[in-house]
Amino acid sequence: MRDYANLFRLDGRHAVVVGAGSGIGRESALALAAQGARVTCADRDLDAAEETTNLGNPADPVPSVAAQVPSQLTSYELDVLDPAAIERAVAELGEVDVLVFTAATNVRKRLLDYTGDEFDRVVALNLRASFDLVRTFGKAMAERGSGSIIGFSSIRATTVEPGQSVYAATKAGLVQLLRTAAAELGPSGVRVNAIAPGVVETPLTEQIKAHPDWYSAYAEKSALHRWATPDELAGAVVYLASDAATFVTGSVLHVDGGWTAVDGRFEPPN
């Protein structure tokens, strides 16, 4: 009989969240810790990662407890553009049960105006770094016989607009990378899934938010007629990390307010 009362609990598990210094990564780290996981908040910006750990750890822990129980969240400096740094992280962080990675970048520019350097920069973070993370952490999980890997794709993996060419290509490529990892690592007990957010209030979307018409058009496109906040993605992360999703792998979970389900251009009369 499954323990449904604790289906989403993560007590005793170690989660590493890459990109935990802000936005969706920060909220994911806080949510995983709230469900009992020990969370390593990894980010290239160590100060930002430490802000996350300070938000999640008790401000005034009971001294007798603090002496025996480590902080639920800890910070770790990690530059995912450096494959050697990822190798070191796997060696230094010990057993990892859950890997979540959110780090991404975008250059919003028409295809004919793109430069080779810009292409390389977007692909390096969005796809190559993801490849290195999945391969390195996934190997250790497979050797141990269990684990959950969660990467962040996007609605742009399936629906595009002018100016999103390379970003969209990397997010579609990430889905196929994760599906392949699910197929290859599944026999070793490792689950691999993607989350595809819609439009979310994060630093990556500042350019859109600064343009009122653009911002409003994005809000109206979803079935809920609004943007998401980063905390609204955290539940999907907890679900895929937990025993509630033990038979879920190779999937893409859209958390997009109905963006990819609804045409949205016009509401016909009855």
75: which strand partners?
Answer: 41
Q: Which residues are catalytic?
A: 167
Amino acid symbol at 183: A
Sheet holding 98-101, edge to edge: 73-77, 38-43, 14-18, 98-101, 147-152, 190-197, 252-255
Amino acid symbol at 188: S
DSSP 150-186: EEE--GGGT---TT-HHHHHHHHHHHHHHHHHHHHHG
Distance of alpha carbon 216 from the chain centroid: 25
Coil, strand, or helix at residue 16? strand
Instruction: Say which residues have a Cβ less than 8 Å from residue 110's Cβ, sequence separation at least 6.
Output: 162, 163, 165
